[in-house]
């Protein structure tokens, strides 16, 4: 088995390190919080400055008290002449510096995290809001999983940038600058001696980063492969066993597993080399300090205090240099995420709000049946010229119940989607109450319809929240009334918590029939002017079937209704039946009339409905 060819895992696409256009757009999200950002930066500067104080205090303690030298220091005016008292003063000062530093750091970290989270909140809200507006057509071609990632993972990656990346880089540079300033003040010569090790630190870090980057890339690939392999083989274990493939599966897994181990071992080697190397460079800097400093001390141009302070500075000055390398990756993946997010936000909405000026008045959304529905020479294709509907014309009179029947793929459901303006027609027009749909605000339009889609979709929540959905103005009584009308009330009352019974993952605890009935109740609770019903094909048990049948009967009475029908009882109740076949409206009339024609309907009847008698 050519293992290598079978598994090449896509490298994550990394964006540019810095893209001015993206960064400008990102900064715009920071604008509402600029005061907070300013506060955080001020705190950051203050705490970086304090980090310099410790070694300096040590220096003063040594030169003034422990090994007295006649060198003036900034603190002479405040410090006691008594050696023990003075030492205690310095220790207290050190303690104070630590405590103030703690406060500054805490405030800085928290404020920055707070700002980051606020920005993420705004961004997530914006993306989600945009998704609520995008066309159904957009959803037809975009996998839901990928869209979910935009709202979740991509935003979190950006958060890294705000909360850790940018600020930390700034903090690292500040620390570096302050330490350098302190060193220059104390002894420019010694500073040069310390910084002589700088290029070595940069070099070692660079070499390590390069080795580690390669190993890390292989690790990521190996982990992805292990996950993919496990996922696939756990899912398909039955096939593996049926075909006696276990030994070979084990061998392939062993290879992937070994790659994973070896990639890690390379990373371990890189780390194992890096830490001693960087420490040795530190020792080197220390030795240079000691030798050069010792030389100067012997010559009387340097105090021991300064040397000790430098030994401590040397430890701190290299840390930011090492950290900077790490921030590189954060920047890179943040840019890639930003790019993806903005691309989604830039996707245009086609079926959106209609300018008020050209908006046409729709029939009032109350229950009195008025307003005709007309389809006039409607053509529609989801893609190019693959016509799903061809020249379809019909009208539904106020109060009339129309059933649409046809074989799979005849275009029945498409008619309903067009009526709800999920899509706009390719040619021809649809009018509701005399208003062309293209002049209607889709949200306003849909408020007039009570819709039951073929797949009865339930949300996690309670039964009553599923009936009400987000329309909180619907009072409890109306929810109960709707449940009653949908023949659902007695079932709900039999549940331990009645209307407040939990609905789990898409209603997995409910039967298909019950889910349908909940959808009926949902439609009714919204007091629709028009009823649109796409009957589910799946069969339900006789008891529920009876309830469904009865509920449909009640629902259509006195309401303008269009039903994609699979039940004979529904069809027989309709005032008129439209027979769709291969995208065209082929027959129309009452059940008896159509049967007498002995055409398509007759065959459909024999095939699908006859058994139901």
Partner 1 sequence: MLRQLRTMWPYLLRYRWRFAAGIAALLLKDATAVVAPLLIRHIIDTLTAGLTLRRVWQFGLLLLGLGLVKGFFQYWMRWIVIGVSREIEYDLRNDLFAHLTRLSPRFYGAHRTGDIMARATNDLNAVRMMIGPGVMYWCDTFVIFLAAIAVMGSIDWRLTFFVLLPVPAVSFSVGWFGRLIHDRFQRIQEMFSDISSRVQENLSGVRTVRAYAQEDAERERFGELNREYIRENLRLARLWGSFYPLLETLIGLTFVIVLWLGGRQVLRGAITLGSFVMFTSYMGMLIWPMIALGWVVNLMQRGTASLARINELLGQKPDIDDAAVRDGGPGEIRGEIEFAGVGVDYGAGTPALDSIDLKIPAGQTLAIVGPTGGGKTTLINLIARLRDPERGRVRLDGVDVREIPLERLRASIGMVPQETFLFSETVAENIAFGAGQAAEAEIGRAAEIAGIAPDVEEFPQKYQTLVGERGITLSGGQKQRAAIARALIRDPRILILDDALSSVDTLTEERILTHLAGVMRGRTTLLISHRVSTVRSADRIVVLSGGRLVEQGTHDELLGRGGYYAALHQKQLLEAELEEA
Contacts (CB under 8 A) with partner 1, residues 538-597? 581
Which of 328, 457 has the CB closer to partner 1?
457
Q: Phi/psi at 573 (nearest 5 deg)?
A: -80, -20
Which of 10, 24 has the CB closer to partner 1?
10
Q: Phi/psi at 295 (nearest 5 deg)?
A: -55, -45
Kindly give, in sequence order, each residue whose CB lies less than 8 Å from that of residue 535, ignoring residues fewer than 6 positions away: 454, 552, 563, 564, 565, 566, 567, 570
Contact 468, 395 (CB under 8 A): no
Q: How far apart are the first and last CA of the chain?
A: 57
| d(C-alpha 146, C-alpha 139), whole Å | 11
One of 295, 343, 497, 504 touching partner 1 (CB under 8 A): 295
Contact 406, 604 (CB under 8 A): yes
CB of 470 to partner 1, least distance (A): 2
User: Which residues inside 517-536 make contact with partner 1, applying CB under 8 A?
Assistant: 522, 526, 532
One of 66, 202, 224, 324 touching partner 1 (CB under 8 A): 66
Of residues 102, 115, 112, 96, the one with CA closest to residue 47: 102
User: Which residues inside 109-128 make contact with partner 1, applying CB under 8 A?
Assistant: 109-110, 113-114, 117-118, 120-121, 124-125, 128
17 is a site residue for partner 1 (CB under 8 A): no
CB of 96 to partner 1, least distance (A): 10
27 is a site residue for partner 1 (CB under 8 A): no
Segment contacting partner 1 by CB under 8 A, of 23-31, 32-40, 334-342, 444-452: 444-452
User: Which residues inside 126-145 make contact with partner 1, applying CB under 8 A?
Assistant: 128-129, 131-133, 136, 139, 144-145
Of residues 111, 110, 73, 109, the one with CA closest to residue 93: 73
460 is a site residue for partner 1 (CB under 8 A): yes
CB of 605 to partner 1, least distance (A): 10
- Helices 188-195 and 246-298 cross at an angle (nearest 10°) of 160
365 is a site residue for partner 1 (CB under 8 A): no
Is residue 428 within a helix (H) or strand (E), and if so which, with residue range?
Answer: strand 427-432
| d(C-alpha 479, C-alpha 334), whole Å | 47
One of 442, 507, 513, 583 touching partner 1 (CB under 8 A): 442
One of 37, 101, 179, 487 touching partner 1 (CB under 8 A): 101
| d(C-alpha 180, C-alpha 177), whole Å | 5
- Spell out, one character per residue from 300 to 339, where the chain touches partner 1: x when CB under 8 A holds, - when not: ----x---x--xx--x------------------------
HSE, CB side, 13 Å, CA atoms: give it for residue 354. Answer: 18
| d(C-alpha 568, C-alpha 226), whole Å | 52
31 is a site residue for partner 1 (CB under 8 A): no
11 is a site residue for partner 1 (CB under 8 A): no
One of 30, 226, 345, 381 touching partner 1 (CB under 8 A): 226
Task: Give start and end residues of each alpha helix (H) in 399-511.
Answer: 412-419, 442-447, 463-468, 476-485, 489-493
Which of 10, 613 has the CB closer to partner 1?
10
Segment contacting partner 1 by CB under 8 A, of 6-14, 322-330, 547-555, 569-577: 6-14
User: Which residues inside 251-280 make contact with partner 1, applying CB under 8 A?
Assistant: 253-254, 257-258, 260-261, 264-265, 268-269, 271-273, 275-277, 279-280
CA distances, 323 to each of 49, 106, 326, 347 (Å): 18, 20, 5, 38
One of 12, 76, 232, 541 touching partner 1 (CB under 8 A): 232
CA angle 515, 451, 357 (to 5 degrees): 150
Segment contacting partner 1 by CB under 8 A, of 17-25, 107-115, 374-382, 490-498: 107-115
CA distances, 277 to each of 286, 317, 460 (Å): 14, 16, 56
| d(C-alpha 307, C-alpha 283), whole Å | 14
Which of 19, 444 has the CB closer to partner 1?
444
12 is a site residue for partner 1 (CB under 8 A): no
Mode of pairing for the β-strands spanning 435-436 and 530-534: unpaired
- Spell out, one character per residue from 234 to 253, where the chain touches partner 1: x when CB under 8 A holds, - when not: xxxxxxxxxxxxx--xx--x
600 is a site residue for partner 1 (CB under 8 A): yes
CB of 108 to partner 1, least distance (A): 8
């Amino acid at each position: 088995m050519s293992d290598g060819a079978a598994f090449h895992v896509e490298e994550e696409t990394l964006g540019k390190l810095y893209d001015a256009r993206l960064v400008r757009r990102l900064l715009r999200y920071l604008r509402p919080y600029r005061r907070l950002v300013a506060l955080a930066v001020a705190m950051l500067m203050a705490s970086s400055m304090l980090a310099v104080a410790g070694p300096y205090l040590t220096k003063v303690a040594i030169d003034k008290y422990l090994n007295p030298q006649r060198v003036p220091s900034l603190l002479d005016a405040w410090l006691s002449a008594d050696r023990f008292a003075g030492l205690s003063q310095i220790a207290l000062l050190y303690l104070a510096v630590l405590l103030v530093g703690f406060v500054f750091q805490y405030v800085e970290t928290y404020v920055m995290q707070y700002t980051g989270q606020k920005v993420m909140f705004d961004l997530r809200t914006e993306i989600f809001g945009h998704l609520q507006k995008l066309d159904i057509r957009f959803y037809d071609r975009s996998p839901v999983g990928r869209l979910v990632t935009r709202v979740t993972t991509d935003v979190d990656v950006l958060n890294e940038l705000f909360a850790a990346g940018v600020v930390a880089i700034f903090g690292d540079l500040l620390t570096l600058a302050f330490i350098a300033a302190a060193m220059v003040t104390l002894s420019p010569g010694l500073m040069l001696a310390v910084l002589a090790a700088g290029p070595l630190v940069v070099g070692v870090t660079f070499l390590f980063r390069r080795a580690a980057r390669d190993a890390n890339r292989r690790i990521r690939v190996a982990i992805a492969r292990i996950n993919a392999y496990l996922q696939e083989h756990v899912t398909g274990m039955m096939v593996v066993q049926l075909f006696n493939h276990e030994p070979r599966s084990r061998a392939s897994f062993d290879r992937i597993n070994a790659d994973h181990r070896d990639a890690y071992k390379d990373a371990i080697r890189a780390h194992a080399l890096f830490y001693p190397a960087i420490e040795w460079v530190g020792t080197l800097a220390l030795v240079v300090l000691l030798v050069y400093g010792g030389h100067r001390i012997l010559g009387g141009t340097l105090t021991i205090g300064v040397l000790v302070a430098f030994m401590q500075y040397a430890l701190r000055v290299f840390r930011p240099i090492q950290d900077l390398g790490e921030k590189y990756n954060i920047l890179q993946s943040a840019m890639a995420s930003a790019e993806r997010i903005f691309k989604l936000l830039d996707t245009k909405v086609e079926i959106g709000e209609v300018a008020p000026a050209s908006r046409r008045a729709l029939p009032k959304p109350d229950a009195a049946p008025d307003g005709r529905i007309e389809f006039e020479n409607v053509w529609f294709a989801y893609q190019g010229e693959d016509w799903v509907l061809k020249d379809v014309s019909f009208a539904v009179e106020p109060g009339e119940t129309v059933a649409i029947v046809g074989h799979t793929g005849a275009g029945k459901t498409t008619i309903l989607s067009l009526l709800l303006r999920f899509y706009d027609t390719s040619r021809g027009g649809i009018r509701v109450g005399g208003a062309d749909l293209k002049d209607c605000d889709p949200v306003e339009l849909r408020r007039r319809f009570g819709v039951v889609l073929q797949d009865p979709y339930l949300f996690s929540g309670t039964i009553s929240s599923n009936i009400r959905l987000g329309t909180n103005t619907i009072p409890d009584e109306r929810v109960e009334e709707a449940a009653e009308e949908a023949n659902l009330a007695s079932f709900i009352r039999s549940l331990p918590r009645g209307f407040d019974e939990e609905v789990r993952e898409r209603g997995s605890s409910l039967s298909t029939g019950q889910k349908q009935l909940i959808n009926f109740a949902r439609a009714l609770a919204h007091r629709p002017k028009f009823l649109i019903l796409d009957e589910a094909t799946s069969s339900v048990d006789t008891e529920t079937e009876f309830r469904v049948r009865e509920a449909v009967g009640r629902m259509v009475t006195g309401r303008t209704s269009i039903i994609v029908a699979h039940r004979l009882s529904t069809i027989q109740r309709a005032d008129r039946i439209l027979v769709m076949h291969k995208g065209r409206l082929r027959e129309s009339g009452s059940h008896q009339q159509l049967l007498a024609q002995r055409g398509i309907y007759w065959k459909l009847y024999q095939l699908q409905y006859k058994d139901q008698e």
